[in-house]
Amino acid sequence: MRRIYLGVPIEYEDQVLSAIGEMGVVQLIKEPLTKHPMKSRISDLSSRTGKLDERLDAILAERSPEKMPEHAEEVLPQEFTCEDAENFLLQSETKLSELILDLQQLEKQVEEASLTREKVSFLAQNGLRTDEIGNFEHIFVKVGFIKSSLTSRLATYLAGTSTALVITAGRPRENLVILAGLNDDRQFSEESLKLLNFQEISLPPNLNADPKLALDQLEKQIETAQNEILRFKQEMRRLKSRSSRFGFCLSEAVRYEGAKQLVMRTKTRSLIHGWIPLDEVNNLKDRVEQIVPKPDIYFKTENPRLEDDVPVQFKSRGITRAFEMLTFVQGVPNYFEINPTPIYTLLYAIMFGMMFGDIGGGIALMAIGVIVTKFRRGVFAFSLNATKRLAQILIACGFTSIIFGYVYGVFFLLRTPFGGLLDPITSVEEIITIALVFGVAQIILSLFLNIINMIRRKEPLKALLGERGIIGLLFYTMGVVIGYRFVVEKSFSVFLQPDTVVFTFIALSSLVIIVLSPLIESYLRHEQASTLKKTLEGFGTGLEAFIAFIANSVSYIRLAAFAIAHEAIALAAVVLGTVLGNVLSLVLLNVLDFVVEGFAASIQSLRLMYYEFSTRFFLKTGVKYDPFKVGPNRIKA
C-alpha cells in the first residue's frame, strides 16, 4: 500500500475524480481542513427513493405476488439531473398511491364476490333460486347461518307460528337455516333470529336468478378482478425496478459528493490524497495522464509510516477467504501485523476435527456444506455471501473430521473394521497429551507472531521484554520443560535436580525480567516515572503471565475431552440399543451428537482460537481497505 498525492488543475477535478471512482483503487483520506459532507439535495433524493423502495417491497411482500412476466429493463442515461430524479419520484409516488387505492378496491371486490359465490353455492345445493329469498307480498323467505348448538332453540322459538323451518348442513360448526312464513309472523321471527346471532344471506342486485348462471357470473367477475390485480402488481414491479436503478445512481452520486468533500483546493488546483495498492500506482498514473496534460500533473507516492492508519487489503484465496469472516469478527489486523487468517484456517479446522472426529459425521458436514453453497439466498440473518462462506467452513471442518475419524476409527459412532490409530476411550492419557502438546505449540506460535509483529512495528523493547516477547517465550518454554518433569516424577525436588536446575534458573530469571520490564523500558526511554508504580505494574504483569500461561495451556485439554465424549456417546448407543434397538439407538444418538457436539466443537474451537491463541499477538487496530468506487452514471446537481 502506498500513500498518494495527486494534484491537477481544478477544471479537471471532476474528470479525474470520476476516473478514480470507476477504477475503484484509491481510498481517499480526509484532511483536517476539509469539511464534513453536508446534507444535499442528492442525499435527500436518495433517501426518498429508499423509502419508495421500502413501500413497494412491503406492498409486494404482503400480497405474495405471483411470478411476473419478464420485461425489458429501461436503460438510464449516463447523466441526468436532480430535476429528472425529482420528477421521477413525484410521478412514482403519485402513481403508487393510485395503484394502492385501485388495488385495495379490486381486492375488496374479489373478497365480496367470493363471499357471494359461497352463499349462492349453498342456495344451489338446496334448490333455491336467488329471486326466491326476501320479503314478498304475503310471505317472507330467509336463508342464513346459525350455530349448530342453537338450532334446537330456534325451533322452540318458532313453534306455534306459521314459520316453516328447514335445517341443513352448512359451514363448520354452523347449520344452514331456511325459514318461510307469513308476513304476520315476520317481526317475531326476525327478533328470534336476532337473539340467536342469525347471519342472513343477502345478495347484491343484478344477480342472475338461476344459481348456476349466477355462479358463472361471479366467477367471471372474480377472474376479471384478479387479472386487474395481477396487472397492477406487474406495474408495481416495473416501478420497483426503475426506482431501484434510480436509487443506485443516486447512492453513487452521494458517494461522489462525499468524495468531493475530501478534495483540498486552491484557486487553481485540486489535491487528491489517499491510499492505493502498489500494483495499481502505474495504472492510475496512466489513466490520469489520459485526462490531464502531463506537465500539469503533480503525482507523488510515499511508503506508509508506522503512525499512519494504513488500510489493509485482504487477498485471501481458496478456503482461507471463507475464514476471513472469523478474523473480521475480532477486528482488522494492523497493516504492520501478520494477517492471521491463514493460521486461523488451519487451527480452527484441526481443532474442530480433533473434537468431532467421525468419518460419517465429517461426510455429512461436507454434504451439508456443498448443498448450502448452491443456495441462491442467505439463510437466517446471513447474507448470501456469508452463507456461502459458512458452507465452505463446514466443508473444511468436515474434511478434518473425516481425517480424525480415521485416526479414531469411528464411522457414525460405530467402530470401523480397520480399527483406528488411537482410541480416545482406551487411550485417555495419550489423547490428553496430544491435546496439551498441540496447545503448547499454539501458545509458542502466538508468542513468535507477537515478536515478529513488534519487530515489524519497530518496537524492539516490546519484542524483547515482557510476557509476550522473547523473554516471555523463554519463560514459557522453560516452564513447559520443568512442568513436564514435575508431572512425570511428581516431586518438587525435580526443580533442583542437576539436569533441571538450569531450566529452573532460566525460568525464574525470565520471570524477574518480566516483572522489571516496565521499569527497564521506562529507564531506556528516559521517561520520568515512579519506580514503585512501575515495579507494582511489572509484578501484576508477571503474576498474570504466570497464571495465564498455566491456565491457557491446561485449557486445551477440552480438545481431548470432546473426543472422549464422542466415544462415550458411541458406548451409550450400544447400551441404549438393548432397549430401543440398535438401528433406532444409533439414529437418535447420531442426530444428538451431530447437533450438540457439532455446535459445541464449533464454539470451543472459536474460544481457544480467540482467547488462548490470538490475544497474545492480534492488536485489532487496523482499517479495512475501502476504496472510493462509483459507476459511470452521473447525476448533475
Residue 216, pLDDT > 80, answer yes
Nearest C-alpha neighbor of 519 from the set 465, 464, 475, 455? 465
Average pLDDT over residues 285-296: 92
pLDDT for residue 76? 54
Average pLDDT over residues 354-383: 88
Q: What angle do CA 389, 392, 397 make, to 5 degrees?
A: 130
Average pLDDT over residues 540-562: 91
Residue 39, pLDDT > 60, answer no
Average pLDDT over residues 164-181: 90
Tell me the three-class secondary structure of 287-343, residue by residue: HHHHHCCHHHCEEEEECCCCCCCCEECCCCCCHHHHHHHHHHHHCCCCCCCCCCHHH
| Average pLDDT score over the chain | 86
Share of the chain above pLDDT 90, in %: 34
pLDDT for residue 32? 60
Q: Give per-residue pLDDT as tens, 490-512.
A: 787 878 888 888 988 999 999 99
Q: Which amino acid is at 403?
A: I
Beta strand 634-636 with 79-81 is parallel
> 313 vs 130, 277, 335, 343, 369, CA distance in Å?
77, 8, 9, 17, 27
Are 435 and 390 contacting, i.e. CB atoms less than 8 angstroms apart? no
Reduced to 3 states, what is the DSSP secondary structure of residue 467?
Answer: coil
Separation between Cα atoms, residue 285 and residue 282, nearest integer Å:
5
**Dihedral in degrees, nearest 10, Cα atoms 9, 14, 16, 21:** 150
To which residue does cell 536446575 refer? Answer: 501
> Please, which pLDDT band fits residue 85 given cuts at 50, 70 and 90?
confident
Q: Which amino acid is at 259?
A: A
Average pLDDT over residues 550-571: 90
Reduced to 3 states, what is the DSSP secondary structure of residue 605?
Answer: helix
Separation between Cα atoms, residue 472 and residue 607, nearest integer Å:
22
pTM metric for this prediction:
0.72
Reduced to 3 states, what is the DSSP secondary structure of residue 27?
Answer: strand
Are 353 and 346 contacting, i.e. CB atoms less than 8 angstroms apart? no
Cell of 475: 519463560
> Please, which pLDDT band fits residue 635 given cuts at 50, 70 and 90?
low
Residue 591's CB is within 10 A of a number of other CB atoms, namely: 10
Beta-carbon contacts of 366 under 8 Å, excluding residues fewer than 6 positions away, are 394, 395, 398, 399, 402
pLDDT for residue 33? 53
Share of the chain above pLDDT 70, in %: 94
Residue 266, pLDDT > 50, answer yes
Residue 238, pLDDT > 70, answer yes
The one-character DSSP state at 14 is H
Bigger pLDDT: 635 vs 193: 193
Residue 526, pLDDT > 70, answer yes
Tell me the three-class secondary structure of 46-96, residue by residue: HHHHHHHHHHHHHHHHHCCCCCCCCCCCCCCCCEEEHHHHHHHHHHHHHHH
Beta-carbon contacts of 584 under 8 Å, excluding residues fewer than 6 positions away, are none
Task: Calculate Rg over the CA atoms of the chain.
Answer: 39
Q: Give per-residue pLDDT as tens, 442-458.
A: 999 999 999 999 999 88
Residues in the chain, total: 637
> Please, which pLDDT band fits residue 40 given cuts at 50, 70 and 90?
low
> Please, which pLDDT band fits residue 352 given cuts at 50, 70 and 90?
very high
DSSP 219-281: HHHHHHHHHHHHHHHHHHHHHHHHHHHHHHHHHHHHHHHHHHHT-EE-SSEEEEEEEE-GGGH
Separation between Cα atoms, residue 152 and residue 30, nearest integer Å:
84
Separation between Cα atoms, residue 134 and residue 41, nearest integer Å:
64
Q: Give per-residue pLDDT as tens, 464-496.
A: 988 899 999 999 999 999 988 888 887 878 788
pLDDT for residue 445? 95
Helix spans in 356-427 (H): 359-373, 384-408
pLDDT for residue 80? 62
pLDDT for residue 70? 46
Are 393 and 372 contacting, i.e. CB atoms less than 8 angstroms apart? no
Q: Please, what sign has the CA dihedral across residues 534, 539, 542, 547?
A: negative
Residue 18, pLDDT > 80, answer yes
pLDDT for residue 418? 80
Residue 71, pLDDT > 70, answer no
> Please, which pLDDT band fits residue 634 given cuts at 50, 70 and 90?
low
Beta-carbon contacts of 269 under 8 Å, excluding residues fewer than 6 positions away, are 7, 8, 9, 10, 298
Backbone angles phi, psi at 500, to 5 degrees: -120, -20
Residue 72, pLDDT > 50, answer no
Q: Give per-residue pLDDT as tens, 324-339.
A: 888 988 888 988 899 9
| Number of helical H runs and strand E runs in the chain | 19, 16
